[in-house]
Amino acid sequence: MADPVQLQQVSLNLVMNAVEAMNHSGEMRVLRLRTEPGPARTVVVRVVDSGPHVDPEVVSKMFQPFFTTKSSGMGMGLAICKTIVEAHGGQLTASAKNPYGMEFKITLPLYQHN
Whole-number pLDDT of residue 71:
79
Is a pLDDT exceeding 70 seen at residue 107?
yes
Q: What is the pLDDT of residues 19-46, one digit of tens each?
A: 999 987 776 899 999 999 999 999 999 9
Whole-number pLDDT of residue 27:
66
Using N-to-C axis directions, what is the helix angle for 4-22 and 77-87, rounded to 10°? 150
Question: Cβ atoms within 10 A of the Cβ of 93, count?
Answer: 13
DSSP code at position 70? S
Question: Cβ atoms within 10 A of the Cβ of 81, count?
Answer: 23
Instruction: Report the alpha-carbon distance of residue 45 to residue 37 in Å, rounded.
Output: 9
Q: What is the pLDDT of residues 70-94, one digit of tens each?
A: 878 888 999 999 999 999 999 999 9
